[in-house]
A and B are shown apart, each in its own frame.
Chain A
Amino acid sequence: MSLILDNANPHVYEKSNKRVFKDDELNDEIRDVIDAREVFDLIRGIKDPEHPLTLEELNVVEEDKVVVDNELNLVSIHFTPTINHCSMATLIGLTIVVKLLRCLPSRFKIDVRITEGRHATEEAINKQLNDKERVSAALENPNLLQVINQCLIGSL
């Protein structure tokens, strides 16, 4: 990792409140579906690779940029790099992908993309994150996996 930070003084946002469970959700008799808040909770605690802050505190991930379709088994996430030439964008996206692959049932298709217009090489990064063969090869790299796991420590 470079010693010069891409964005040395990022704006820090407030964390969301803890999820409030409704009566229905606490009732074991009722089968409830996975919702956007649940998926957001999985990723909001992921650490930024450079700063001792979470993706939520940096506003890289937001609840309303998480879409879950239980009928079609789709989870779609848009994330927003703090600056539009962030060199860590692919790594951040990959970390979100890994977290969701590990935590969501395998029936879900996971799409992780950059919020439209928020990165200089958005298209290239999206293509790479969407190529499961390259993601799979990347995750066989022990050094990269170690960096990703570091970011995931403590993320719920």
Chain B
Amino acid sequence: MEVSSEPQNLNPTIYERSEERIVQESDYDNDVRDEIDRREIFDLIRSINDPEHPLTLEELHVVDLDGITIDNQANTVQVQFRPTIPHCSMATLIGLSIRAKLLYTLPTRYKVGVNIYEGAHIQESQINKQLNDKERVTAALENKHLCAVVNRCITTSES
């Protein structure tokens, strides 16, 4: 997974960012049991930077709220993402960034699955298999070079 200097998709379509989450009164009430929902997962990943463009995954429509499912009973989170082009060589890196972000922020009880939207990439099944092999993901994140690239994607300047 090398990062080339030339972006592959030179002219990506940019999408409007969604509204900020409306803060409820109950958010400040410690007595309210408030489970993690889809929107919160989305907020964790929407501002991840694209490896090539100075844009977020939300602005490039790589992630959206519809692609996220969460089951708090089973402690499972599923994230689907859509590479901007079907032969995008950055797809694995984008998926790994989503995985890393959720690994670093979500409670450890969650089982996270990261997959490409069906039909959105020519190597969909290979990339999905790699992204969901925890041994390979662990090894990848131990790789200093790759980890630095991932950290650049998931570190955001905004609060």
Are chains A and B native binding partners rather than an unrelated pairing? Answer: no
